[in-house]
Chain A
Amino acid sequence: MIETRRLTGALRTAHPGTMAANFWRFRYLLWYLVVRNLRIQYKQSIFGYAWVLLSPLFQLLVYSFVFSQVLNTPSQGGVPFLLFLLVGLIPWIFFSNSVAAATESISGGGALVTVVYFPREILTAASVLTRVIDLGAGLFLLVLVMLVEGEPLRWSALWMLPLLLVQVLFTLGLAFPLAALNLFFRDVRFLVAVGLNLWFFVTPVLYPVDIVPERYRFIYDLNPMSRLVSSYRWAMFTGVAPPVESILWSIAVSLAVLYVGYRLFKSMEPAFADNV
């Protein structure tokens, strides 16, 4: 019953402001942890960092073949399907890889958790930041495909940057409680894998949201990832700013999730070292 008391323990007075201050104070540590993560992940593979590019490329080709050629899924506003897909897929891969990696950030922390103290959110944030490499590679791929397809690069594409920041906050908000819970129950990472898979299909990555029947639309309206993915496309392909209500909804949900997620994380933090 020790666990129950821990999990329902009183929340410490921690809020995202504390988090931001800790990120700044331990910014070097954050940086070295990101370097470490990258080094370890790609060190012993033959293609090394090329996998960052190869893995989304293969996904892109497979999805594009199945959905565009076999299932005849429409794109939006006359945009080539490959591009349409890519703009949704890149942020999704970033999101999905971040959440999966961050879930194991504390349980895989080893000696960093058991013998030295620093605010543990640094470990989780480093896992998320490490996956920015997926984002970078994806955006590079996107620019290449746009050049090949002759699609113009519009100023409104700059909207992607603040929106991606919102996505990072949302990701952190989910990653914190998942990373903490995974320490107490190793089932969490399996649940996360299943959950991300389901979530992928209720986010309009492989198809435009307008082919979804009206009665299911509310799921997409509530889902911030769906809002974000639609907004990214809007920014890339229309030349004007994405709908305000989508942006505001994404920001509101992200901040709320971050606030609650971070507090849950901090309330469980004292027990971390004894459970790794």
Chain B
Amino acid sequence: MPTTSEEVVRLEGVSKRYRRRESETLKEFLAAVARRKAAEPPFYALRDVSFSVRRGETVGIIGRNGSGKTTVLKLIAGVTVPTAGKVTVGGRVSALIELGAGFHPDLTGRENVYLKASILGMSRRRTRESYDAIVEFAELRAFMDTPVKRYSSGMFTRLAFAVAVHSQPEVFLIDESLSVGDAAFREKCYAKVRDFQAGGGTIVLVSHDLQTVASYCDRVLHLEDGRLLFDGDAEEGIARYAASREPAAAV
């Protein structure tokens, strides 16, 4: 639980290290142990990052590709654990991290809704109750008995977003995924996001689209090479980030 009742997400001195190589075979592992060979220098996705998010806040995370944005979401979602530091989350989290997160290609839309909802901790009855709303929102009534591998990426996203938003999370983590749908659907998603904000929900949004970030977020975090460069007012953060990018863009 967070230390103050207001904080729902808290990262303290968090670092995340990844190995560069694929997992090794037993042979390589034993050889490495025998020779006491030092492993390749590890790759740090995050270095000593600390911030907290209060209930009802919408925080945007901006930064170049590979700056550690998605890693932050994965840590909050509990998918991966920090190498150093501490991550505390005090509420039910629903995450849209990758396209169609947790969907299985061979199952139908309907089955995937139930599967995904059960992962998010919804009971079967609650899922049944919100099923129509989910299908309605996703505009996929005619495709619910089709295996999702036949879906277009837009349909995939719509269904994933619909399930996630109807699971009534306290903390909603959104990655770039929203930019996949068509303009009309995107509008609908953002309207839903507004509703969620109005209802006091907490959002952590990762996006390359600075305009989106500017219109939804009170606060931004700017990550660069796994370090937190800026944490504060959205307008100021975006302006600084845009300025830092310009010289590179001009070249």
A→B interface (CB under 8 Å): 1-4, 25-26, 28-29, 31-33, 35-36, 39-40, 43, 111-118, 183-188, 270-271, 273-275
Contact = CB atoms under 8 A, between A and B. Distances in A.
Interface string B1-39: 000000000000000011100011111010011000011
B74 interface: yes
A1 B23 contact: no
Interface of B: 17-19, 23-27, 29, 32-33, 38-39, 42, 74, 77-81, 95, 97-98, 100-104, 106-107, 111, 114-115, 117-119, 121-124, 127
B115 A187 contact: no
9 contacts: A26-B121, A36-B111, A39-B106, A113-B79, A117-B78, A184-B29, A187-B25, A187-B26, A274-B80
Given A26-B118, A32-B111, A116 B106 contact: no
Question: Which of B29, B33, B100 neighbours the largest number of chain A CB atoms within 10 Å of its CB?
Answer: B29
B18 to A, nearest CB: 6
B97 A115 contact: yes
B23 A275 contact: yes
A115 B102 contact: yes
Contacts of A188: 26
Contact of A117 (B79, B107, B122): B79
A115 to B, nearest CB: 4
Given A32-B118, A39-B107, A117-B79, 15 more contacts: A2-B42, A3-B24, A4-B33, A26-B118, A36-B104, A36-B111, A36-B115, A113-B79, A115-B74, A116-B77, A116-B79, A116-B97, A116-B101, A117-B77, A185-B26
A188 B101 CA distance: 28
B29 A3 contact: yes
Nearest to B96: A115
A4 B104 CA distance: 33
